Amino acid sequence: MCEEAIPVPRALKNWFIVHFIADITFAVPLFILPEQFLTFMGWSAVDPITARMVAAALFGIGTESLLSRNSTIDSFKTMLDLKIIWSLFAVFGLLLGLINGLFNNIYIGLFLLITFILFNILWTYWKIKISKLR
């Protein structure tokens, strides 16, 4: 069986849609109202240009998740690599922020950290699972 003929599990396609919704949910306010949104999220200092660059990354990754949900298994493997790398470095960045006391509201920092840890576990699980589909 050639690699393109391997079906992508429906649950993984659904997780890509969930990821699109999560990314866009944060990207829109981060792009349109970065100061207000990040102040609400507990940031004490906000650089709107950097915030909009992060929003652009969220738009890009989230939109590609939606667009690629019906792609080949190879496309999913590539996207999973990107999602694993992105979420892992987000975990490191959030950990540093928490360790250095950069969150006005530690619960929001912990929520974000846990969210990225869970996404990293999810994407790693799926990467391993679909790598075994041969």
Structure confidence by residue, pLDDT tens digits, 23-73: 999 999 999 999 999 998 888 789 999 999 999 999 999 999 999 989 999
Q: Which tens digits make up the pLDDT trace of 83-110?
A: 999 999 999 999 999 999 888 889 999 9
SS3 assignment, position 69: coil
Could you state, in order of their start, the residue ranges of all structural domains in the chain? 9-131
HSE (side-chain half, CA atoms, 13 Å) at 77: 14
> Is pLDDT at 2 greater than 60 in this prediction?
no
What's the pLDDT score for residue 103?
Answer: 86
Sign for the CA dihedral angle at 21, 25, 28, 34 comes to negative
1 pLDDT band, cuts 50/70/90, is very low
In whole angstroms, what is the distance from residue 134 CA to residue 127 CA? 13
